Structure 1
Amino acid sequence: RTLIHKMVEVNNCLKQLDNKDIADYEHNQLMRRLRQLIAQSWHTDEIRKHRPSPVDEAKWGFAVVENSLWEGVPNYLRELNEQLEANLGYQLPVDFVPVRFTSWMGGDRDGNPNVTADITRHVLLLSRWKATDLFLKDIQVLISELSMVECTDELRDLAGAEGAQEPYRYLMKKLRSQLMETQAWLEARLKGQKLPKPAGLITQNEQLWEPLYACYKSLQACGMGIIANGELLDTLRRVKSFGVPLVRIDIRKKSPRHTEALGEMTRYLGIGDYESWSEADKQAFLIRELNSKRPLLPRQWEPSEETREVLDTCKVIAEAPRGSIAAYVISMAKTPSDVLAVHLLLKEAGIGFALPVAPLFETLDDLNNANDVMTQLLNIDWYRGFIQGKQMVLRGANLQSNYQFSVRRLDHRCSACA
């Protein structure tokens, strides 16, 4: 991260040197600063001597967003919009989102055994904190810029009597207060403090989008499109591309861990050993429990450490703001019950939304069987209704043979049942 900051500043110096109209003293200052930055970089050890923690990896990923993507995404969309307008007479919608960012950092306990439920919770909080920090900077710029008085009746109603003099600034200051309150709460959580959620806590993108978009529509309606399409539009596009989570996280865990956890549960309940059941019996049990309105486990149950980790991970997912988790990826998926098991564990954790659960077929045999696995899943009424025509499937990165044939069959099956 340190070297990234230095390289960014080097790039800024070089851009300024391209200006042939700069004065000699400015040229000398820039050259002096370049020498300093190069010397600093040269004497900085870019190779770490210690293995980075999952939190360190996540922080590096957030630094890439802050130093590159935060400016890069709206700049790219602005250029794309200009080209479309010049060549096709078409303008991109304000809410156009060509890309969203997802990370495995802090969520992949298969690739990194040091990732735990506590680590995932910490990274999710840290990601939200960084998003809040970046949006605070954007809102501060908008407070400075949106000094206009003329607005629509809709915006005037939103601003109320208090904001009648400067309605745009009033709404931006109100949003700034919410962001500051949210950031303070997130900082406390990152320090291990358990505080009640403040009334204005920002957890959903709509809380950012609505006041910003109201200002945008008002400016456009009042003939101030040149202002609306400046920093305000960039911020709106960041809300759509990054939003409250900044980057979404993929959770990844091996299928045997879920099987072992359910085996421990069924043994505790005295209904048999899930691990030894046939695939048909597993599916029957899972579908029955997924359709049931009662919880499977009593609250006072104390599982083993391994099962507790599985359940805690599902609880972290259930407690995270909607949109923070991109998908739950099941490594070494082989059977329909591997997918249904995760859905049941998430249900037990109290998840309030339909999270995509993606089987990862990692061996050639598993990939060749993937069509049959997905056919069985899509023939289950509960499952087909739950996924609402959307299914994510992953394959092992090293698989080559029979890949195209298997994927074509699988794609046809998923499309037919969607």
Structure 2
Amino acid sequence: MTATDPGRAATEPLREDIRFLGGILGQLVREQEGDDVFALVEKARVESFRLRRSEIERGELATLFDGIEIGTAIPVIRAFSHFSLLANLAEDIHRERRRAIHIRAGEAPQDSSLAATYAKLDAAKIDSATVADLLKDALVAPVITAHPTETRRRTVFETQRRITDLMRFRERTDLDEAELAEVNVQVRRQILTLWQTALIRLSRLRIQDEIEVGLRYYEMSLLEVMPKINAELRAELRKRWPDADLLPTPILRPGSWIGGDRDGNPFVTAEVVHAAIHRAAFVALEHYLTELRILEQELSMSARLVSVTYALDELADAAGEQSAFRADEPYRRALWGVRTRLTATAERFLDDLPADAVRADAEPYDSPQQLLDHLDIVDSSLRRHGDQIVADDRLATLRQSVETFGFNLSGLDLRQNSEVHEEVMAELLAWAGVHPNYKSLPEYDRVQILTAELATRRPLSSPDATFSELTTKELAITRAAANAVRTIGPGAVPNYIISMCTSVSDMLEAAVLLKEAGILDPGNGKAPYSPIGVVPLFETIEDLQQGATTLLATLDIPIYRALVRARGDNQEVMLGYSDSNKDGGYLAANWALYRAELDLVDAARKSGIRLRLFHGRGGTVGRGGGPSYDAILAQPVGAVTGSLRITEQGEVIAAKYAEPRRAKRNLETLLAATIESTLLDVEGLGSSAEPAYAILDDLAERARVSYGELVHETPGFVEYFRLSTPVAEIGELNIGSRPASRKATNSVYDLRAIPWVMSWSQSRVMLPGWYGVGSAFEGWIDGDDAKLAKLADLHEKWPFFQTVLSNMAMVMSKADLGLAARYAELVPNVELREKVFGMITDEFDRTIRMHKAITGSDDLLKDNPAVARSVFNRFPYLEPLNHLQVELLRQFRAGDDRESVKRGILLTMNGLATALQNSG
């Protein structure tokens, strides 16, 4: 396999890497699968490039796979899928290469790096008091979530990492001919291992598997990278504003939804919540115990040669280490004592003990701060006798790790749909004799009842009460969370998120459930308090429009306002990018979110709270995806006040965090954008903001109407969607633990967002990322050059509008309506097929024309050369995967439901998701 691209000198090393890796893969396919499979792979590759050069018609390529036997199809699918994996590696290495070249050339740091942010802060000359206020309670939290398109096994990731390390060594080491040949053999060995390793599991992922998948990124990169970035940022900011005591707690702290998100997932139970929290804690404590064991070995300083502090001597003596060989080694004795106490801590709340645990009769630590205090004693003593260079190494990183991860590693959010809360609350209130039919009550009466319940410690249930399966399960989950908060600490479960939150009662129901579990304390005459925050999730366009009103009305309730006050006046609000897109399409959803943020910022100012926004972004543009730096800078003024939480999902997690260098770069991006959005004026509209907002109000409504005409009003659209995409098979195949739909209906609204977006991505329509935008622009401009000039001006000045068009262009560059036409052929109703696909193609062409008119460029990726290179290099290799998927879908739907056929479809999905990189 080889690849070519338009051919700039700067990208020749990338092309060489792709040729080298692809060449080895091709040789191995021939050796492992035989000449016939290799010939088919090569034929498909050559014909795909001929197709791109317009030398053949697409149908000629498609005929290669007509009626293909599954035994032949699977190795061909694997060949093209593996090429995508190897192309990803080559592109990652090339990005590192280009950054190194820029740095060596002495060029200014690139935007989205912390180095560039520091330079911007220096130029802005912001006063210390302003910085201290804006960065109070600062938090940047990437929140790891499960995802059905990311099913690769840990073994695959580890093999990829070994190939990456070898490719780096190959490039950066001065090797003679024999040494280079040996490295090449090692690369070949790893690619052979990759080829002979199953890419995906045969069985459906359980939530327990998804928990382990999420945790593997800590061992791969996050445990190493996060603490160091926190330390660097704190040092740099304090150097600039030394009197402000900035970031007393680490700004970068991770979160998770895996095992706590039960919205539409019946498999989340109290046992799963317990497992998710305790497995995360295990990873944290295992890491600390391992680092402590290594420190014990490293800090061999003798009391005969150095003078330690009195506090260190006390810590060593208290450890009870009796070995005569360590009598003059106080650091080793002290650290052994720390390890015994941390072991006792692990014994107190973990289900299993890590390997480096040391059993002894020791007192457990009550909090991570106690562990930090002991590590600080070791640090202070080392510095006292001139060992700063030692203190700044492993010990410093361990101290930073404990600060960052605590005992819980990451906070597990709980999430449930408001409809479930309503059912549970109705049953509890009826059992307790408060009201026999809560669901029949109007909103005002519901709020009155719930407010009264929040003010009393009287429970609504008892240990011997019998409830429905739903209520029993929900109560058990909140009690599991309460137990985790008591034993591990409040960071174990920081938030309770309410999906489809539409009213004050929706928020209060969640608060009452927290009280019922013993988490929320009404105060009994004192200030009420809950270590778990109540977080509304506004998702549909209507809910986003009413979000600020709902929040203000809830804050008007004295006991809820007191709860927020007790949490430092911090109130988190989550914004959903998925359901708003299903509701109104790309432009309407993005503008509804922007407007919601404007309203919420105003609500926060009026009510005196500190607003933290949690962005539920998916990997794809249709679910809020796209470059994180640009997306954060595109937020309205005041929406990012030192705080940001953002979901990270599926193959995007792997792309960002599977390796330390990439993890550092991507985490820096989140921090850089958050700091700049908080401390600098990045919106760029000034006094012209309101007229710009009015234009977007009009455009968004036009886009919503156009989108609705297709998705919600066209008869048979849902049938077309189900037949022309693999959405029906997603539910049948072993992809993820969560059902594809919230409930068994044929409504687009009830589909989960990931299958909705993923299906359009697989079929290369990418509809959620652009449909309706062209009609909106064309209708608003209506041939008026002055209006077109106004949109061009907004594109030039306004980061939000730039980002909307840039992300839309990126997703349209990955669309291919020629391939989509092949999927449309899966719809037997010719009239329906021609009508719907005709509407899609017309709007696609219209949107391309309008993008060119506004931006002045017919190059969709003019502002994104990295993606342009990726599209050019790898997209011919996607072509066979799409044709094979269509053929296998055809066979599967015709009744061939063999496991091998299902596995073939799953492999095509995985291969396409890997190559597209933001499919769901």
Q: TM-score per shorter chain, which class?
A: 0.7 to 0.9
CA distance in 1 between counterparts of 2:389 and 2:402 reads: 20
Give the aligned partner of residue 219 of structure 1: 382
Does residue 1:7 correspond to 2:7, yes or no?
A: no
One of 606, 611, 628 as aligned partner of 1:416: 606
Give the aligned partner of residue 381 of structure 1: 558
The 5 Å alignment of 1:32-181 reads 32-76=185-229, 97-110=250-263, 112-148=265-301, 149=303, 150-160=307-317, 162=320, 165-181=328-344
CA distance in 2 between counterparts of 1:77 and 1:226 reads: 19
The 5 Å alignment of 1:331-346 reads 331-346=499-514
CA drift at 1:207: 3.8
CA distance in 1 between counterparts of 2:564 and 2:376 reads: 31
CA drift at 1:223: 2.7
Q: Deviations over 1:369-405 (max 9, x none)?
A: 2122111111122111111211111122033344323
Q: Tell me, what secondary structure is at the counterpart of 1:391? A: strand
Matched-pair contact (CA < 8 Å) for 1:253–1:331: yes
CA drift at 1:186: 5.8
TM (norm. structure 1) is 0.87
CA distance in 2 between counterparts of 1:293 and 1:240 reads: 34
Q: Deviations over 1:274-310 (max 9, x none)?
A: 2222222221222212111332323321111100111
CA distance in 1 between counterparts of 2:456 and 2:362 reads: 34
One of 403, 414, 419 as aligned partner of 1:240: 403
CA drift at 1:200: 4.1
Is the alpha carbon distance of 1:9 and 1:351 closer, same or farther for their aligned partners in structure 2, counting shifts above 3 Å?
A: same
CA drift at 1:248: 1.6
Matched-pair contact (CA < 8 Å) for 1:95–1:240: no
CA distance in 2 between counterparts of 1:297 and 1:83 reads: 52
Q: Tell me, what secondary structure is at the counterpart of 1:160? A: helix
Matched-pair contact (CA < 8 Å) for 1:99–1:241: yes
CA drift at 1:411: 1.5
CA distance in 1 between counterparts of 2:264 and 2:362 reads: 38
Does residue 1:295 correspond to 2:449, yes or no?
A: no
CA drift at 1:76: 4.0
Unaligned runs of 5+ in 2: 1-153, 322-326, 354-360, 521-529, 582-588, 610-920
Does residue 1:362 correspond to 2:539, yes or no?
A: yes
Q: Tell me, what secondary structure is at the counterpart of 2:415? A: strand
Matched-pair contact (CA < 8 Å) for 1:94–1:233: no
Unaligned runs of 5+ in 1: 191-197
CA distance in 1 between counterparts of 2:164 and 2:366 reads: 35
Does residue 1:325 correspond to 2:497, yes or no?
A: no
CA distance in 2 between counterparts of 1:89 and 1:359 reads: 35
Matched-pair contact (CA < 8 Å) for 1:125–1:189: no
Give the aligned partner of residue 351 of structure 1: 519
Q: Tell me, what secondary structure is at the counterpart of 2:409? A: coil
CA drift at 1:358: 0.5
Give the aligned partner of residue 195 of structure 1: none
Give the aligned partner of residue 593 of structure 2: 403
CA drift at 1:345: 0.9
Q: Tell me, what secondary structure is at the counterpart of 1:296? A: coil
Q: Deviations over 1:223-281 (max 9, x none)?
A: 32111111111111111222211222111100111111111112112332222222222
CA drift at 1:210: 2.1
CA distance in 2 between counterparts of 1:56 and 1:41 reads: 21
CA drift at 1:334: 0.8
Give the aligned partner of residue 693 of structure 2: none
Q: Deviations over 1:310-355 (max 9, x none)?
A: 1111101111122011311100101111111111111111116421
Is the alpha carbon distance of 1:45 and 1:231 closer, same or farther for their aligned partners in structure 2, counting shifts above 3 Å?
A: same
CA distance in 2 between counterparts of 1:9 and 1:203 reads: 40
CA distance in 1 between counterparts of 2:418 and 2:546 reads: 16
Q: Tell me, what secondary structure is at the counterpart of 2:413? A: strand
279-288 or 214-223: which moved more? 214-223
The one-letter code sitting in structure 2 at the alignment partner of 1:344 is V
CA distance in 2 between counterparts of 1:128 and 1:264 reads: 34
Is the alpha carbon distance of 1:173 and 1:8 closer, same or farther for their aligned partners in structure 2, counting shifts above 3 Å?
A: farther
* The structure with more radius of gyration: 2
CA distance in 2 between counterparts of 1:415 and 1:179 reads: 44
370-379 or 181-190: which moved more? 181-190
The one-letter code sitting in structure 2 at the alignment partner of 1:68 is S
Is the alpha carbon distance of 1:26 and 1:166 closer, same or farther for their aligned partners in structure 2, counting shifts above 3 Å?
A: farther
Give the aligned partner of residue 253 of structure 1: 416
Matched-pair contact (CA < 8 Å) for 1:96–1:237: no
The one-letter code sitting in structure 2 at the alignment partner of 1:54 is I
The one-letter code sitting in structure 2 at the alignment partner of 1:312 is A
The 5 Å alignment of 1:167-206 reads 167-183=330-346, 188=351, 200-201=363-364, 204-206=367-369
Matched-pair contact (CA < 8 Å) for 2:431–2:461: no
Matched-pair contact (CA < 8 Å) for 1:133–1:183: no
Q: Tell me, what secondary structure is at the counterpart of 2:300? A: coil
One of 372, 391, 395 as aligned partner of 2:549: 372
The 5 Å alignment of 1:304-319 reads 304-319=468-483
Q: Tell me, what secondary structure is at the counterpart of 1:208? A: helix
164-173 or 357-366: which moved more? 164-173
Give the aligned partner of residue 267 of structure 1: 430
Matched-pair contact (CA < 8 Å) for 2:228–2:400: no
CA drift at 1:56: 0.8
Is the alpha carbon distance of 1:80 and 1:342 closer, same or farther for their aligned partners in structure 2, counting shifts above 3 Å?
A: closer
How many equivalent pairs are there? 410
Q: Tell me, what secondary structure is at the counterpart of 1:395? A: strand
Q: Percent identity?
A: 31
Is the alpha carbon distance of 1:93 and 1:335 closer, same or farther for their aligned partners in structure 2, counting shifts above 3 Å?
A: closer
TM (norm. structure 2) is 0.41
Give the aligned partner of residue 791 of structure 2: none
For CA contacts below 8 A with separation 6 or more, give which structure has more relative contact order: 2
CA distance in 2 between counterparts of 1:235 and 1:259 reads: 45
Q: Tell me, what secondary structure is at the counterpart of 1:323? A: helix
Q: Tell me, what secondary structure is at the counterpart of 1:70? A: helix
Is the alpha carbon distance of 1:166 and 1:384 closer, same or farther for their aligned partners in structure 2, counting shifts above 3 Å?
A: farther
Matched-pair contact (CA < 8 Å) for 1:255–1:338: yes
Q: Deviations over 1:53-101 (max 9, x none)?
A: 111111011111101112222454576689889x9698x9896623111
Q: Deviations over 1:90-146 (max 9, x none)?
A: 8x9896623111111111111533222221111111111122222222111211122
The one-letter code sitting in structure 2 at the alignment partner of 1:392 is E
Matched-pair contact (CA < 8 Å) for 2:564–2:571: yes
CA distance in 2 between counterparts of 1:413 and 1:307 reads: 34
